Amino acid sequence: MRVDPAEAREELAVAAATLERSLAGDDLPAFYAELRGTHLPFLAAGIESAADARELFRLCYEILHRFGGISPAVALALENHLYVSAALATLPLADDPPLDARRRALLAQMEAGRLLIANTNSRVHADKLATVGTRARREGDGYRIDGSATFLSLARESDLLLFVTRIEEEGPGIFITPLKGNPGLAIGDLLFPDAMRDSDTRQLTFHDLRLPAESLLVAGQDDRVAGLFTFQLIWHQALTAALFLGAAAGAIEEARRFLCAVRTKDDRPLSELDGMVAQVGRLAIRYRGACCVVRQAGEALSAVAAGGLDGPAVGDAFDLAAAAKYLGTQCAEEVVAEARRIVGARAMAGGSRLARLSQEVIFGPLAPEVGAFIERRYGKRALAAASFLDERW
């Protein structure tokens, strides 16, 4: 990795302070302008080995955890950029030189131009789950895309768009195109105008979007496409857990400050009451346990980057990332709620960090995979085993 991790952590401390000020002044563009001047969004461009993949995960974890403790909504927007760039950078492509060259060129372009990338899977709200709202068809040497996608986070700040759609008679495809100033793309109103507004999640409509052939990153029904989808989801699930665990850490910090600052009628700090000590201890244990699963998922992800997409490590990483996302987001909801009960009504006062965390943390379990999907997958595996005691988890 070309960037010194210590330097990246120094930049993170400054960026976190900028985020605090920007939220207070309702000026998130100022935060993104400063963020673009750091290495933080472009760490993936420096990946050169499997060992770098491990360090990249650790740094992405720290970035999203830190920002998630301030605003999960902002962290979620940035997570969409980080997981896409990280997955592209660490996807093992030793046997696919053309795709390897394309992803390296894209990451270099993003770093040189300080470009942020948004992404959408083109899903829409419909009466059937996983409905894709866009379609692509070949037209001459290029493609024409029409339709809509419900979810596009980091919508107005992003310069590029990576999107998944179906190509008629060919199967799924992943395209990359400019987002800002693109006449074929219309960014709609905020999908979450209240609690999650700072994620800048909006509907995206494709109006007769014409793309050249080189806009297609990969397509078809082969293992290469499925492997990229899976690898991206592993990154997405693990980093989603990281940012919402940041919200849990932020809530514990707010409870700690309250308990150390407020005193009983006999002038003892609340932090000295045995009941409070034990209650905060329970929160810290729950939080630390969930963090361990996320870090373990990062190690499993690094093993895939080193060993390729065709071995058992992929399944292990996929399962661990799903469990990390499930446990991490569930833990965050529970910890924030308990911290709110400790602090009391002042937790929801205007400008309170706990108020912001309370409003935004509830979105954690909703994506990328909902909890029911993860529960059923684990349940089927457990019930299909000859003996659960013999399963290696």
Q: Say how far apart CA 50 and CA 38 lie, in whole Å.
A: 24
Of the residues 189, 219, 249, which one is the last residue of a structural domain?
A: 219
Where is pLDDT greater, at 51 or 4?
4
CA angle (146 as vertex; 143, 148 as ends), nearest 5 = 135
Domain count, the chain: 3
* Number of residues assigned to the chain: 393
Q: In the predicted model, is pLDDT for residue 243 greater than 80?
A: yes
Mean pLDDT of 32-54: 92
Residues 373, 294: one domain? yes
Residue 240 in any domain: the answer is yes
In DSSP terms, 178 is beta-bridged to 160
pLDDT at 94 over 90: no
Distance CA 177, CA 124 (A): 20
Q: Predicted confidence band at 51 (pLDDT cuts at 50, 70, 90)? A: confident
Name 108's Cβ contacts closer than 8 Å, sequence gap at least 6: 45
CB-based contacts of 66, cutoff 8 Å, min separation 6: 12, 16, 246
Same domain, 355 and 343: yes
Domain final residue pick, 159, 189, 219: 219
Are 295 and 350 in the same domain?
yes
How far apart are alpha carbons 258 and 268 in whole angstroms? Answer: 13
In a domain, 48, yes or no: yes
- Residue with token string 């940012």: 243
In a domain, 393, yes or no: no
**41 neighbors 81 (Cβ within 8 angstroms):** yes
Mean predicted confidence (pLDDT) in 226-255: 96
Q: Which residues pair with 175 in a beta bridge?
A: 163, 216
3-state DSSP helix/strand/coil percent for the chain, to nearest 5?
Answer: 60, 15, 25
pLDDT at 139: 92
What's the token pair of residue 345?
Answer: 């009504």
Averaged pLDDT for residues 227-245: 95
Q: What is the mean pLDDT of the chain?
A: 94
Asked if 12 contacts 58 with a C-beta cutoff of 8 angstroms, the reply is no
Tell the burial category of 4 from Cβ atoms under 10 Å away from its Cβ (0-12, 13-18, 19+).
Answer: exposed
Judge if 360 and 377 occupy the same domain: yes
For residue 247, give Cα distances in angstroms to 59, 63, 283, 343, 376: 17, 12, 13, 16, 27
Rounded CA gap, 379 and 322, in Å?
A: 13
Residues 202 and 292 in one domain: no
Same domain, 267 and 336: yes
Whether 123 is in a domain gets the answer no
Q: What is the pTM of this model?
A: 0.95
Residue 2 backbone phi and psi in degrees, to 5 = -75, -25
Tell me if 201 is assigned to some domain.
yes
| 136 contacts 163 by C-beta, under 8 angstroms | no
Residues 229 and 192 placed together within one structural domain of the fold: no
Q: What is the pLDDT of residue 391?
A: 81
Establish if 352 belongs to a structural domain.
yes
Is the pLDDT at 143 greater than 80? The verdict is yes
Domain's final residue, options 115, 142, 158: 115
The predicted pLDDT at position 303 comes to 94
Task: List, for residues 61-86, the tens digit of each pLDDT value.
Answer: 999 999 999 999 999 999 999 999 99
Query: Residue 7 above 80 pLDDT?
Result: yes
Read off the CATH number of the domain in which 328 is found: 1.20.140.10
In a domain, 125, yes or no: no
Structural contact between residues 69 and 19, judged by C-beta atoms closer than 8 angstroms: no
Asked if 77 and 140 sit in the same domain, the reply is no
**Does residue 232 sit in helix, strand or coil?**
helix
pLDDT reported for residue 165: 93
CATH number of 153's domain: 2.40.110.10
- For residue 212, what are the domain limits? 134-219
Distance from C-alpha of 291 to C-alpha of 338, rounded to nearest angstrom = 18
Shared domain check, 245 and 362: yes
In a domain, 129, yes or no: no
pLDDT digits over 264-320, tens only?
999 999 999 999 999 999 999 999 999 999 999 999 999 999 988 888 899 999 999
In a shared domain, residues 284 and 329: yes
Residues 269 and 207 grouped into a single domain: no
212 plus 259 within the same structural domain:
no
Average pLDDT over residues 339-350: 92
If DSSP states are collapsed to H, E and C, what string results for 92-137? CCCCCHHHHHHHHHHHHHHHHHCCCEEEECCECCCCCCCCECEEEE
- Reply yes or no on whether the pLDDT at 221 is more than 80: no
